[in-house]
Amino acid sequence: MRCAILSIGTEILFGQIVNTNTVYLTRELNNMGFDVLYHHTVGDNASRLKSIIQETYKDCDLIVCTGGLGPTEDDLTKETIAEAFDDKLEMHQESLEVLEAFAKRRGWKEITPNNYKQAMMPTKATVFQNDVGTAPAFALMGDVKNSQDDSIYENKIIVTMPGPPREMKWMWNNKIKPYLLGFSDKTLSYKIIRTFGIGESKLETVLLPLIDSQTDPTIATYAKEGESSLRIASQRPTKEEADAAVMEMIDKVSEIIGKYIYSIEDEELHQVVGNYLIENDISISVCESCTGGMFASRLVEVSGISKVFDRGLVTYSNQAKIDELGVSKETLDTYGAESPEIAKEMAEGLYRVTGSRLCISSTGVAGPGNGKGPNGEVSVGDMFIGVCFDGETYVKEMHTGRDDRVVNRNSCMLTMFDEARKTIMKYSH
């Protein structure tokens, strides 16, 4: 099915809110096997909204709308959509009852006219009640006339959802997605493969023979700062066939780039590491200089991590490195704080203090600009990671060559997780 995502709301055009709904729905629709042809955003303006709807049906079958349904808005969105489908609004009995029950539960003194408007629906609509807010969603199906040239677009569908992302997601997952899957004649299966340590363009180059040689499964690359993902998708007559085609392609991909893959279940790197630590009861501590708490902060996102995470230290000053980790003043004076030698002493010191099986450290120059060491300049982007597992330590050196504090710190934090992953996979068996 060919579709467009239509966001309604002046606040998006003022830049007051970021349109995260469209990103979410784009991925969802693609993963359902729907073709997304357009994204449109239009303000709360009836004639522009109407004209966009008519134009879009020239080559789309479905419009997925968000926004324009709240209690402070007038009925512009609903009225315009109803009009496009040659329908009109009337009070929807079930929605009215839901609204009155809601008002009673909340102890409202009165239901304002604005609230009543939320229960008005196109007469031919399929209405979906909203368990997490007051605006119901609805779907309309039918013919749409182009008022410019009187041509008729047959059998078109529109679905509308409230704009607040929390409500939209609830409505999508519980009501709209199941409704739309009824129109899908394809069975799509897909997996997101996550990699670390290989750039998107290199990934594309090495996989090109695979990508070019077939049309199903499809392989698409997704870039994120410091990471690249692959989406492998197949559409077959049955789910079993689609699943099998995807798994077969994952095997082929793994033969080429297996060492970069850290998840075939769309998990994030810190989740993979955190869950592995928890499941295998491996204790961890971290001391950070250039990453300044980013690693600890990310690790603590993993639910249940308190079982294995002993402590994190942000030893930003030299004194903190000496006090907390017993780093030697001599090493600091000889090599400087941003050196592989200090990364090693930090990880080893942390192991002495905490006894955690995995102790990991970071130090280096995140920028802006180069750093100063006792032996001259330390280039920006030179960063060092110490990894101590059961008392054995190695240092991973990074030289990003980039003068960007945010990029460098993020890249160092992700590399710490990747080194942690490799280490625990290798030594803990």
Q: What does the binding site for a copy of itself look like in residue numbers (CB under 8 A)?
A: 7, 12-19, 22-23, 26-27, 30, 36-43, 48, 51-52, 55, 58-59, 148-149, 220-223, 231, 286, 288, 291-297, 299-301, 303, 305-306, 309-317, 319-320, 323-324, 353-354, 368, 405-406, 409
Minimal distance, residue 233 CB to a copy of itself, in Å: 10
Minimal distance, residue 424 CB to a copy of itself, in Å: 18
The amino acid at residue 158 is I
DSSP 318-374: HHHHHHHH---HHHHHHH-SSSHHHHHHHHHHHHHHH--SEEEEEEE--SSS-EEET
Residues 6+ apart with CB under 8 A from 202: none
- Compare residues 51 and 393 and give the one whose CB is closer to a copy of itself: 51
Decide if 29 contacts 89 (C-beta within 8 A): no
CA–CA separation, 68 vs 82, rounded Å? 14
Report the DSSP beta bridge partners of residue 189.
234
Minimal distance, residue 259 CB to a copy of itself, in Å: 23
Decide if 306 contacts 380 (C-beta within 8 A): no
Decide if 353 contacts 326 (C-beta within 8 A): yes
SS3 221: strand
- Compare residues 40 and 92 and give the one whose CB is closer to a copy of itself: 40
- Compare residues 340 and 367 and give the one whose CB is closer to a copy of itself: 367
- Compare residues 222 and 335 and give the one whose CB is closer to a copy of itself: 222
The amino acid at residue 356 is S
Task: Kindly report the backbone phi and psi dihedral angles of residue 108, in degrees, each rounded to the nearest multiple of 5, phi listed first.
Answer: -60, 140
- Compare residues 89 and 378 and give the one whose CB is closer to a copy of itself: 378
- Compare residues 75 and 404 and give the one whose CB is closer to a copy of itself: 404
SS3 209: helix
Residue with structure tokens 């903190």? 320
Minimal distance, residue 26 CB to a copy of itself, in Å: 4
- Compare residues 114 and 306 and give the one whose CB is closer to a copy of itself: 306
CA–CA separation, 103 vs 106, rounded Å? 5
Minimal distance, residue 238 CB to a copy of itself, in Å: 25
- Compare residues 117 and 405 and give the one whose CB is closer to a copy of itself: 405
Minimal distance, residue 311 CB to a copy of itself, in Å: 4
Minimal distance, residue 410 CB to a copy of itself, in Å: 11
Minimal distance, residue 40 CB to a copy of itself, in Å: 6
Minimal distance, residue 280 CB to a copy of itself, in Å: 18
The amino acid at residue 421 is R
Half-sphere exposure of 240 (CA within 13 A, CB side): 0
Residues 6+ apart with CB under 8 A from 93: none
- Compare residues 252 and 311 and give the one whose CB is closer to a copy of itself: 311
CA–CA separation, 376 vs 176, rounded Å? 62
